[in-house]
Amino acid sequence: QVQLQESGPGLVKPSETLSLTCAVSGYSISSGYYWGWIRQPPGKGLEWIGSIYHSGSTYYNPSLKSRVTISVDTSKNQFSLKLSSVTAADTAVYYCARLGGRYYDSSGFVRYYFDYWGQGTLVTVSS
């Protein structure tokens, strides 16, 4: 069974860098798929932050791109998120997830959906 577990500080000071790690078990990241970070501010909706492949190829939400870095460590079977210059607006539950559900769309292109999620971790930005 694939499991994902987020970890990292629950409290970060404004202007500092938020750092989280997603440890994966039950599946080797090196075997494939994109892996993603998603966040949800308290009482608000879901926001895709970015996705990374085991090769290190990354895609970021344009609204966060200047502050986000996602990296992968295949030796530890984990991937990480760094968000710099945080403010109170970055307070959220942060989820990691696997884009591993494959299907073919109406034009025959391969697409993927999130099939496994971590439980989420709350990060509060406050002094």
- Which residues of the chain form contacts with another protein (CB under 8 A)? 34, 36, 38, 45-48, 51, 53, 59, 61-62, 95, 97, 99, 101, 103-107, 109, 111-115, 117-120
Least separation in angstroms between CB 119 and another protein: 6
Least separation in angstroms between CB 19 and another protein: 21
- Smaller CB distance to another protein: residue 108 or 126? 108
Indicate the length of the chain as a whole number: 127
- Smaller CB distance to another protein: residue 16 or 41? 41
Separation of alpha carbons 103 and 29, rounded Å: 20
- Smaller CB distance to another protein: residue 16 or 120? 120
Going along the chain, which residue ranges are E strands? 3-7, 11-12, 18-25, 34-40, 47-53, 58-60, 68-73, 78-83, 92-104, 110-117, 121-125
Q: Is 34 helix (H, G, I), strand (E, B) or coil?
A: strand
